[in-house]
């Protein structure tokens, strides 16, 4: 009997410790870049200068063209880095624009941060904009970067807003990641609520993308793909179209992409055609 009790205690302890460790892993995956070891160096197919800010904690890349048509700020997706935006950057360079790309917190060459959030990303970009004296830029972000662009749009004067694979709700990101990574909700579904409590002073509703979009006062493009493997296309299309319709936007457009994934919308010819049209109008 004592041996059975000891075995039961051992198994129970093992299960509890394993669950706690797995919970910590899930918490980290939901709140930070889970593939930090892929940061490495960045190589671009065009000349660009690497700079740092905040005591060399944040890395950013800048290319200031002569006779530039203006600035484009490119913000990358989660677990990506500025190099991930190189193709998009070349598109803008070829169109005569200057570029600013920023490695988000815990991404690329930027140092690790316990607050790898879109809010943190946007405030850091604002510091760089002020340091480099960048005026009236085009803000272009992908997924994580699109949310940062929306926060940034509250703080700067900008020429246009281009969002790829943007979410309508910040809280929705966590549940979408559960689905994407196949994390069982019944086992770890309480963790997002811990995250929400951690940021309890953050006004979630006021700062939701679906609400921030209502105050955009410049041309805006939102791209979503039907093959998005993270965010539900139908739900996002319904909400974004409703926002544009209810506010009578003359310049807001929701663009459906048929044949690319969450982070590769730029590979569709529709992407280039649509942005070229926008650039000719602003």
pLDDT band at 163 (very low <50, low <70, confident <90, very high): very high
Q: What is the DSSP letter of 247?
A: T
Is 24 among the domain residues?
A: no
Average pLDDT over residues 203-211: 85
On average, the pLDDT of the chain sits at 89
Is 217 among the domain residues?
A: yes
Decide which of 249 and 104 is more confident: 104
Is 165 among the domain residues?
A: yes
- Write out the residue range of the structural domain in which residue 122 sits: 44-169+208-281
Task: Report the relative pairing of strands 58-63 and 49-53 from DSSP bridges.
Answer: antiparallel
pLDDT band at 39 (very low <50, low <70, confident <90, very high): low
Are 118 and 147 a contacting pair, CB within 8 Å?
A: yes
Are 23 and 16 a contacting pair, CB within 8 Å?
A: no
For the chain, how many structural domains are there in total? 1
Is 226 among the domain residues?
A: yes
Is 5 among the domain residues?
A: no
In our burial notation (b when 16+ CB lie closer than 10 A, e otherwise), range 216-247 reads bebbbbbbbbeebebbeeeebeebbeebbeee
Decide which of 230 and 5 is more confident: 230
**CATH value at residue 107:** 3.40.50.1820
Is 195 among the domain residues?
A: no
Q: pTM here? A: 0.90
Average pLDDT over residues 16-33: 86
Average pLDDT over residues 5-24: 86
Is 101 among the domain residues?
A: yes
Q: 128 pLDDT exceeds 80?
A: yes
87-100 pLDDT, tens digit each: 999 999 999 999 99
Are 77 and 96 a contacting pair, CB within 8 Å?
A: no
45-73 pLDDT, tens digit each: 899 999 999 888 999 999 999 899 999 99
């Amino acid at each position: 009997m004592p041996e059975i009790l000891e075995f039961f205690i051992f198994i129970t302890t093992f299960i509890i410790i394993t669950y706690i460790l797995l919970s910590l892993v899930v918490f980290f995956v939901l709140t930070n870049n889970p593939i930090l070891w892929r940061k490495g160096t960045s190589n671009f197919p065009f000349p660009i200068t690497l700079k740092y800010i905040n005591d060399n904690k944040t890395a950013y890349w800048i290319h200031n063209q002569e006779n530039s048509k203006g600035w484009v700020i490119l913000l990358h997706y989660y677990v990506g880095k500025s190099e991930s935006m190189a193709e998009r950057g070349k598109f803008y360079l070829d169109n005569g624009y200057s570029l600013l790309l920023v490695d988000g917190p815990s991404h690329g060459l930027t140092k690790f941060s316990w607050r790898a959030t879109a809010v943190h990303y946007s405030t850091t970009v604002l510091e760089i904009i002020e340091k480099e004296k960048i005026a009236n830029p085009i803000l272009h972000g992908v997924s994580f970067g699109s949310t940062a662009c929306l926060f940034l749009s509250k703080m700067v004067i900008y020429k246009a807003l281009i969002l790829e694979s943007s979410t309508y709700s910040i809280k929705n990101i966590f549940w979408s990641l559960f689905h994407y990574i196949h994390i069982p909700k019944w086992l770890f579904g309480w963790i997002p609520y811990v995250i929400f409590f951690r940021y309890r002073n953050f006004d979630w509703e006021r700062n939701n993308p679906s609400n921030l979009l209502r105050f955009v006062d410049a041309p805006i493009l939102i791209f979503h793909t039907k093959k998005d493997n993270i965010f539900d296309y139908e739900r996002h299309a319904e909400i974004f179209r409703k926002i544009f319709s209810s506010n009578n936007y003359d310049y807001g457009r929701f663009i459906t992409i048929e044949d690319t994934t969450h982070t590769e919308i730029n590979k569709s010819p529709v992407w280039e055609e649509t942005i070229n049209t926008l650039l000719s109008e602003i």
